[in-house]
Structure 1
Amino acid sequence: MFNYNFLITVAASLAGLLFGLDIGLISGALPFITTEWSISIHQQEWIVSTMMLGATLGSISNNWLSAILGRKRSLMWGGVIFAIGTLGCTFSNNIDVMLVFRVVQGFAIGIASFAAPLYLSEMSDKAVRGRRIATYQLMVTVGILVAFLSDTWFAQTGNWRMMFAVLLIPTAILVISVYFMPRSPRWLASRGYMQEAQSVLLSLRMDEREASQEYQEIIASLKVKQSGFALFKANKNFRRSVGLGLVLQFMQQFTGMNILMYYSPKIFEMAGFTSKMEQMFSTVLVGLAFVLATFIAIGMADSWGRKPALKIGFTVMGAGMFCLGLLLKFVLTGHAPVYFSYLAVLTSIICICGYAMSAAPMVWVLCSEVQPLKGRDFGIACSTTMNWIANMVLGATFLSLLSGIGTAQTFWLYAGFNIIFVLVTVFMVPETKGITLESIEANLMSGKKLRDIGISSDKQAASSPLSDSNQG
């Protein structure tokens, strides 16, 4: 029987490529759109943040969309909708039309950013689950780098419309490749397609005994009487996992790293690089560092673990954001030596490396792991929605913060957030490497502390994930 594992990893991760391409694209296109249409600071912020508004709406809709259509079909429809939004942005002739189609693009990305990690987590064996989902994040970083390179090429002529148009190529590849993927066995079982669920598991594991054991664990987890919002209302333990997902996604965004993606040319302009090509070249270096550092995350996700990566990453980002604010403070006075500008680029690269090896992939990994099967669509919809709300706030306030509280103070604010996140990780975040989704669910529903739900035991692995007595 054909083994789908490689195809699944590549095809689902293409959703991450689209996500990254859109993030990287807007940083290069924005300066040329601003010049052509003579738009204000707030309009620039809205071109960036309306994508997140659309993504928020897409994430909210996923609570029912993914449950009804499944993860596979959600990814396909996300690709189609993204193509529509991209065409609209490419041919928009004013700021209002641009904003509408940025929302459409965002709606599609909201669907994909929900469905892809969820799909990968449900299709993957416990031994490689973290690596698989981290590969999704790798594709995000590759997309950002490719967009930066594309932006640099088209920056020579200022053709921002072509920056958008190139997104149609990977979108078509995504839709076609996802068409050939199997549906999630956990989704199939939850919808009553038991025979197909067993068949898919066998094609994924290539071991009948292993597939049968995993199938029985899935069936046990389906004994929960409530699902979705009904389970959220009835079960305090499920509310805890939803809360953890919200906190994790808030932490990921308020590291401040995405401002280095959305506004990198602006930041490097403040650092003293006056020409567009200098700014774009520095941006490409940041994108390249993002890609290379993500390989560290792929290597450590299933060996070292999720929690150590987060602790190190938040520490690096906190120190880096503080130093970047200090460097920009000196440069903007006009009295700093020229090498401070290059130190600012280096510091940005260090910050991005810290993010790429920690919060960028590990938050998506954890959010896809900690939710019980009958509440997984609802729980991940909530956490993904938080991601995009926080992302929208970040994109819509950065330029205003610069002019309001000052450049250095803005970066120091994010440095402070990162230090707080180290403490949250130590006392709240679980380590989930090497444990099945069903065992994590059993620990959660038995009332274990959140930081302990990744601790496995033979007794817990063999028991039903939820008894009726735990549903109150």
Structure 2
Amino acid sequence: MKRAQVLRQMLVVTGLAFCSLSDGFIFGQMSGMVDALNGKDSSINLSDDEISWIASTINITCFCGFGLMTILTEIFGRKKTITIVTTPVLICWLMLYFAQDKYTILATRIIVGASYGGVLILTYINIAEYVAPDIRSLCLNLMTACGTSAGTFLGHVLSLFLHWRNVALIGLVPTAISAILPLFWVESPSWLATKGRFNECERAFKKLRLPSKESDLELKMLINSQRGNNNTTKNNLFVSILSKYGSACKEKYYRRMTVLMMVICVYRVAAGRILFSTLIITMLQEMTDTSDIILFTLLVDGCSLVGAGVSCIFVSRLRMRTLLFTSGPIANSVQVILACCLYVWSDNSFYVRWTKVSLLALYCILISAGPYAVLETLLSELHPLDVRALSTFVLGAWAGVLQFLSIKLASYLFSVIGYHGVFFCNAGVVFLCLLYLYFYLPETKGRTLQEIQLYFIDNSYGDNEEMLGSEQRNDLLTKKMTIKV
């Protein structure tokens, strides 16, 4: 039995890893495509404004995927929804390969954006619901950091050697695997609990988790927290979702969680990973004033991948707050130093080029090893179970707008205030976000999703009830949550 449980967990983790790899490959391929359409590839005539729309559209249409995911996951469950929202990406890779005009390319960005948004949020949700609390941060980091970085790295490198159409065709492979593997999962126990299917929830939970006192208590808390809250039917599904979300918004604890997640989204955008993933090839050419950037690209992307791997060690050994408030200020200081170097050094001699690229690579390894590992974990943990899908949609829309503006305005800002100006601005925003998080971010490592929610309700994980015994303490925690929810 233990062997079967481990295999089921590995199947879930592998499927989510390919989802993240496919998501990263989307941006890696797009970076090469955008660079080629800027001058190397004259088969499709595009203006600078049209290219910026192609580069940024995916970030604004992704919130459509959040909304689509909200409805589909309530109807079909977690695992089937991944297959449903991934299938259009397969079609878009083929459309991109045969595209002969700007409208086809723009259409693929719109469709991919919606699908990407759905898959991205489902990755966060599934890791939170399928994986045990003690390894949740590690698994999430493997998926969203290592998987995404590997996909982006692969897309960038292939784009330097192959035509962007051929790179798009290669994207079929990870996307197809990510669509097929979820069909072999068991359904999410948390989703089954929200539907009142408690017997199925218990069976699914036991298929995924090894038997222990902690897992038994987690299962009991999960089921008890959903008893009496399952009045949703197919006829009033949409109304029920909105009603639950409206009730949650009236609660002070959910407003606290929402503001915290909004700050986290701002931090993620200002830290620049999406910007680097989308425009790094063009950025490196302009920062170094040379088109021979193969080694530069390998260094920057390689360091991002190494940083993602190192973060797995950090998140397994350090607490979330310790990791964030140690690595965050250090990484941001490197960004300030890089901005200063770009401002001071106008020439591009051999040593200057390598100094700039090395600082950028160092920054990438630091943000991947620390801040992003924490921020991605938090985004999977801070949504209450009852309104997780719609809450994720709302925060995802906020993040999508920020990312869209970041990419759409990037070329304009680079020409007006320079790369150094953009990095200075981003560093200032990051420092403000770190200051807010320092005062309002709780420690979440090793806590169940129910305990994290309880903290925002009454500023306590329930540890002060330990003298009541584990069974009584579990009953008290679920009672508090039921009252608030």
| TM beyond 0.5 | yes
* Gapped regions of structure 2 (runs ≥ 5): 230-239
The 5-angstrom pairing of residues 30-429 of structure 1 reads 30-35=34-39, 36=42, 37-137=44-144, 138-154=146-162, 159-207=163-211, 210-223=214-227, 225=229, 228-275=244-291, 278-331=292-345, 333-334=346-347, 337-429=349-441
Distance (whole Å) between structure 2 residues aligned to residue 240 and residue 338 of structure 1: 50
Distance (whole Å) between structure 2 residues aligned to residue 468 and residue 453 of structure 1: 11
Say whether the 8 Å CA contact 2:198–2:223 is kept in structure 1: no
How big is the shift at 1:462?
4.8
Distance (whole Å) between structure 1 residues aligned to residue 265 and residue 73 of structure 2: 20
Local SS of the residue matching 1:405 = helix
The corresponding residue for 1:444 is: 456
Say whether the 8 Å CA contact 1:33–1:160 is kept in structure 2: no
Matched, 1:464 2:477: yes
How big is the shift at 1:208?
6.5
Of Structure 1 and Structure 2, which has the larger fraction of its residues in helix? 2
Cα pair distance change 1:438/1:90, threshold 3 Å: same
How big is the shift at 1:325?
2.2
Local SS of the residue matching 2:46 = coil
Output one character per residue of 1:151-179: Cα deviation in whole Å (capped at 9) or x when no partner. Answer: 1221xxxx211121111011111111111
Distance (whole Å) between structure 2 residues aligned to residue 454 and residue 103 of structure 1: 45
Output one character per residue of 1:394-432: Cα deviation in whole Å (capped at 9) or x when no partner. Answer: 111111101122332122111211222221221122210
Local SS of the residue matching 2:447 = coil
Cα pair distance change 1:386/1:405, threshold 3 Å: same
Cα pair distance change 1:435/1:457, threshold 3 Å: farther
Say whether the 8 Å CA contact 1:24–1:145 is kept in structure 2: yes
What is the TM-score normalised by the length of structure 1?
A: 0.91
Q: 2:33 aligns with which of 29, 32, 37?
A: 29
How big is the shift at 1:22?
0.9
How big is the shift at 1:302?
3.6
CA RMSD, aligned part only? 2.3
Cα pair distance change 1:347/1:462, threshold 3 Å: farther
Distance (whole Å) between structure 2 residues aligned to residue 208 and residue 412 of structure 1: 50
Distance (whole Å) between structure 2 residues aligned to residue 224 and residue 340 of structure 1: 65
Say whether the 8 Å CA contact 1:431–1:454 is kept in structure 2: no
Distance (whole Å) between structure 2 residues aligned to residue 102 and residue 235 of structure 1: 37
How big is the shift at 1:183?
1.0
Say whether the 8 Å CA contact 2:196–2:226 is kept in structure 1: no
Say whether the 8 Å CA contact 1:314–1:355 is kept in structure 2: yes
How big is the shift at 1:456?
7.9
Local SS of the residue matching 1:390 = helix
Local SS of the residue matching 2:271 = coil
Distance (whole Å) between structure 1 residues aligned to residue 407 and residue 452 of structure 2: 34
Report the residue type matching 1:303 in the other structure.
Answer: R
How big is the shift at 1:469?
8.8
Distance (whole Å) between structure 1 residues aligned to residue 419 and residue 339 of structure 2: 7
The corresponding residue for 2:237 is: none
Tell me the number of residue pairs that the alignment of Structure 1 and Structure 2 aligns.
460
How big is the shift at 1:470?
4.9
Cα pair distance change 1:270/1:461, threshold 3 Å: farther
Distance (whole Å) between structure 1 residues aligned to residue 311 and residue 189 of structure 2: 27
Cα pair distance change 1:250/1:455, threshold 3 Å: farther
* Gapped regions of structure 1 (runs ≥ 5): none
Cα pair distance change 1:149/1:269, threshold 3 Å: closer
Output one character per residue of 1:174-194: Cα deviation in whole Å (capped at 9) or x when no partner. Answer: 111111111110101111222
Distance (whole Å) between structure 2 residues aligned to residue 461 and residue 151 of structure 1: 53
